[in-house]
Structure 1
């Protein structure tokens, strides 16, 4: 039985651990926190997962919260005008519903399941020196802890990392008491609100420790009015500022937020990081090799909501590569090929995400505007969140965008 060590108990690490466990591998999972510490700790992300990523969980039989979490059936886009009215407002319908489960709920539950199924769970914060000691005892060591010292083992791939500084200041608040969006009270949707030159607000329904909630997620252009959460320690002050900015920039979202309260004292989060693609193979001081997973090797800005989706897809791709390898060694050539397999999916996410961080060119504005009049355009844009590869066909290139819009309207391409 092949022995595999996984460092990090997030979406990718736990999904991969449970998947390998189900295939008969002897898996050790190392986490710096217990399940109880995760469950009672601070929120970690916004984690809206679309159909393909959710299906990877279903395939492993670990979609424990699917019947409880709100079904997100659409994705809406609003663009604020200078007078704080809506210049654009539409919602596209998803072919398969999306869901968000607070990672405090999911990771704690998955960790307990892993242990109950006989997995070796080690609660220990790993440094490079620890890994050097442990790695020689395993056939393969995977690093899925996207923060901390271990990431330094994986060098930045400058050719795939156009930004060397954070492009957004991030702020999250989990709240109860948000009213439905009056335009579509009969179904749930993620709402993407764009404030040109200022930033974005995403509103998404989720399942948390205390039941259904909504997430208010600001992405602020650094140095702008939304870049105001650094240094705020008090969660109520964080929420008050969130609402103050809502009232100023997005009054239609503020109108349904007047009665909200935080889900819990740990329901806020703020930070920033530079989007980075890294080389997938880390070399230990002793010469041993480790393979980076998900955010360790491809960390995109959350503006396109792809973090958990990418982590799930990476875990699924790595699981297939490990199983296909059989008894052959997990050498450097195999590690690179395993990452390259994941990059076939991840490259589209990275390209699209980096494009969304920049001011939109005219043809993208035309697509977003056309979606307000043409439901097929709205639906296609919405479903791109599940399959970002489709954006290659109509989003990046002006000629392809014009040809696509012409095909929908039946008019000649201009």
Structure 2
């Protein structure tokens, strides 16, 4: 029986711990909070998980909330018309909804992580509620066959050095502000199915609106991504949740009035329903070296932290857990040495690199051929659908998104079909 320690109880850490547990490994999971503290605490994220990531949960029979969470069947993009956020009527230069081949879902991580943590303990896993410092890991690395670090914030991340070649940005590229609300009105277009809305305000930032399941049932997430120093970068120092929501709505009225029209009666789901912050997107070296010489393997956003502009965080975490689980199972009784750790990460990076490339591209001002692509999606439903489904498989963007020639050839092929 191989002994494995997982530090951090988020999407990836818990999914990996539960997966290893189901294969008979002796797993210890360390979290700095209890399930009750997580459930009654502050929201931790926005999350919209697409079909591939949801399937990883189904494979492990961890899809406990699938019947309750809204089934997100579409993904819509709006781009505000130039100058439209000056006083006066606001227009959308681009507006469409693409249909997903397999539905997406969002479950508030307070609900999911608390539920999964309780399941892990009920199934006989060793759950230790304790913050972990680098010094603690020195001791643990001698008592476990493998130590996985899945806690994406705090001191432990500093063990993993930044990979400058894969990390083009040294500073945060967006200021993030999240509100979970009840009372949002239906979308005027296609209200018959649920969709995520991505609203781009060029030069200012983005507003995402997504249906979710939270502690009090169905809700919606209002999520601003503001260019630092711009008008959306206004949440620093705002501690009061009501003030946070009111500022969110003011900015919606000014920059995305078509979304504000649905939001006139919203209220926060709970006192913990807001979140604000920022971080620099970073790829790190996957192997952490402890002072005593032991090695630990970084998991998910410890080693690949992308900006949430492309909604990939929880998807990448699920895919990382699935890739690492396969690598651990294939290793059998062989040692989890540095070479194996690097190979396990490379297996994950094969998909993660597409996410990083696409996300970093979306943080920059869109080039003309991308605006042409988004515009064409309004006239050509197959283009809208393909763009929407690439959120599930970002590798597909290589075929039609980055290079003007490929974009033009793709649009010509669809228009001529």
Q: Same fold (TM over 0.5)?
A: yes
Select the residue among 238, 245, 252 that pairs with 2:251: 245
Select the residue among 200, 212, 217 that pairs with 2:218: 212
Where do 5+ consecutive residues of structure 2 fail to align? 85-89
Matched length:
411
Alignment of 1:307-386 (within 5 A): 307-386=313-392
Distance 1:231 1:127 in 2: 28
3-state SS, counterpart of residue 282 of structure 1: strand
Tell me the residue number matched to 1:183. Answer: 189
Tell me the residue number matched to 1:163. Answer: 169
Select the residue among 274, 281, 305 that pairs with 1:275: 281
* Per-residue Cα deviation, 1:291-344 (whole angstroms, up to 9, x for no partner): 000000000000000000000000000000000000000000000000000000
3-state SS, counterpart of residue 378 of structure 2: coil
Tell me the residue number matched to 1:5. Answer: 5
Tell me the residue number matched to 2:34. Answer: 34
Distance 1:49 1:319 in 2: 19
Distance 2:142 2:179 in 1: 42
3-state SS, counterpart of residue 105 of structure 2: strand
Give 1:184 deviation, angstroms.
1.1
Distance 1:108 1:277 in 2: 28
* Per-residue Cα deviation, 1:172-207 (whole angstroms, up to 9, x for no partner): 000000001010110000000000000000000000
Tell me the residue number matched to 1:114. Answer: 120
Tell me the residue number matched to 1:99. Answer: 105
Q: Following TM superposition, where does structure 1 have runs of at least 4 consecutive aligned residues deviating by more than 3 angstroms?
A: none
3-state SS, counterpart of residue 94 of structure 1: strand
Tell me the residue number matched to 1:198. Answer: 204
Give 1:134 deviation, angstroms.
1.5
Tell me the residue number matched to 2:135. Answer: 129
Give 1:281 deviation, angstroms.
0.0
**TM-score, length of structure 1 as denominator length:** 0.99
Give 1:168 deviation, angstroms.
0.1
3-state SS, counterpart of residue 44 of structure 2: coil
Give 1:135 deviation, angstroms.
1.7
Tell me the residue number matched to 2:146. Answer: 140
Distance 1:176 1:290 in 2: 42
Tell me the residue number matched to 1:232. Answer: 238
Tell me the residue number matched to 1:61. Answer: 61
3-state SS, counterpart of residue 368 of structure 1: helix
Distance 1:28 1:135 in 2: 13
Alignment of 1:65-80 (within 5 A): 65-80=65-80
**TM-score, length of structure 2 as denominator length:** 0.98
3-state SS, counterpart of residue 320 of structure 2: helix
Where do 5+ consecutive residues of structure 1 fail to align? none
Give 1:211 deviation, angstroms.
0.2
3-state SS, counterpart of residue 287 of structure 1: coil
Distance 1:305 1:230 in 2: 22
Give 1:410 deviation, angstroms.
1.2
Distance 1:307 1:136 in 2: 31
For structure 1, which segment, 75-84 or 381-390, has the greater mean C-alpha deviation from structure 2 after superposition? 75-84
Give 1:85 deviation, angstroms.
1.1
* Per-residue Cα deviation, 1:110-169 (whole angstroms, up to 9, x for no partner): 000000000000000000011111121000000000000000000000000000000000
- Cα RMSD, aligned residues only: 0.6
